[in-house]
Structure 1
Amino acid sequence: MKNTGPLFFLFILGLLLKPNHALTQEPEEGNAAVSTEMYSDEFQEAFFEALKQKAIENYDKAIILLLKCKEISPNNEVVDFELAKAYSDGGNFVLAQEYAVNALNSKPENLWYLNVLAEILPKLGNSFEGIKTRIPFDNIQLRENLALIYYWHGNYEGALKVLKGIKISSFTANLVLKIKDSIAVKQNPATVSSVGQREGSSKGPLQSYYSQIEQLIVLKDYEALIQIASNALESFPTQPYFYYAYGVALNNNSQYKKASETLESALDYLLDDTELNNKIYRQLSNAYSALGNSSKANMYLSKIKPGS
């Protein structure tokens, strides 16, 4: 996964400009404050020039500049992260792995540090199993992130293996459900689990919407889910799963009346899919509870079949 574009640039900028311990210490007597300012300017000038050089695929120049940053700020994990990417893009995967490991050890919970390492390892014929002793693999957040990365890349069995033994949370439970749905789709391409039958020539777009919606629900990005689910409904107005997804997004954005109307529209298209039916009934119950209509909330709650 490439980490490019303005949002990622702002992410890096935020990490870089966040004061570190060395720059927030009390200045010494004399010209210490001036030298600190010069140090910061020198670092930032080299760093952003490195990003510029890397963007135009001048990796050797970018690496030289990033190594200069490393000399100025040896423990800056953002520099390690950028060095990992620059070395990887330039084809030096051995050094790329070293810097990726350094960055991850500095911030084990960082999804993007882990992701760049996940992209580098296969290029060396390596795996996380081979470097487990070099990273804090028992860190729960790291393992959840790794499972999510595996899920993004379609490595469903790997994701389940990473999650094995982790204490169940709402995130892990949701992710396991999505992984199992994806495995079912992979094993039986003629159907889409929890969506219903595909629509002839629309096979590609249907699956694309399904995959995007799955990820947005896992990430709990309900703002984006509103837009994607709405677009999906315009293209595939007979798919109950897209009504469900739109209803989930609306409920989580406190638009309960619209959520109830959308979810009830799904009832017109329900297939013999107990799991999806139950999900829709739960969301309807939540919507009507929020609206203060306990009668309807209880009615839909009573429709949920046990064991799913």
Structure 2
Amino acid sequence: MNTFSQDSILIAEDLTEEKELRFQQFFFKALSEKSIENYQKAIENLESCNQILSNEVAVFFEFSKNYLQLNKTLLAKEYINRALVNEPKNIWMLKHLVKVNVKERDFSEAISIQKKTVAINIKEREFLLKLYLRNRDYKNAVLLMNVMEQDNALSSNFKNLKSTLEKKVNKKFVKQEKKSNSGSLIEQFKTNKSYNILKKILEVSIDNSAQLLKYSTEGIELFPAQPFVYLMNAKALNYQKSYKKALLSLQNGIDFVIDDEMEANFYTQMAISYNGLGNFKDEKKFREKSKKLKN
């Protein structure tokens, strides 16, 4: 039986003809409802499938995908784990479980699962690298970059980043943030160059373009694998009508984005930049891409 997407699972052919027909009707209706973002309706049709044929991997997989779209990550994880019991090496299901863990911001678990996808398909290494960077595990990121570079599989953006990270790792730049309850955020940042403090500074500087630009620029130098600093840098540059520089910052930072919400925010800023440059075609394109990710 065929399905709508590459990552869907085939249905077992162990039903009577009548039940199989009903199962297929409900299953394809679920896929159709999901394609138009009626996720709850899709789930209702999957429940009907489950009544006809219980413990079906394809149904569990679809349950998980729809629950994830509804931000019900616990249910999404429960159903994908049920599916993986029967097909533990199914790369599409493993990739989906990684996505669920990223949604929950459990990067350590996402890394653990992503390693399994790499064992199946070596092309999945780049996403593993992004997860290391998102988790600020620079040591393992550099080790993986070295391997990928030897295999001629490291992009130019990551080659540039590798040199910066190697210096930071060698100098033991990455340290645990020490708690401090005294002084302003900026005063704290002078003595404790932690990403968490910088992020708070950027968040409170959102209406101060000069300060936002100053600390986001410093943030790119200090934390070159954190997409948020590129996004804030571009926002400040867009405020100041430096649209070309804003686009460059966004293009440099988007390689490190792994979650939909952040990606949507990048596209929104790109749309603002293109609008400022009078490129209304690309503005529309990126606004639509942002809207699609947010829905």
TM-score range, shorter chain: 0.3 to 0.5
If the length of structure 1 is used for normalisation, what is the TM-score?
A: 0.41
Q: Give the greater-gyration-radius structure (CA).
A: 1
Q: TM-score, normalised by structure 2?
A: 0.43
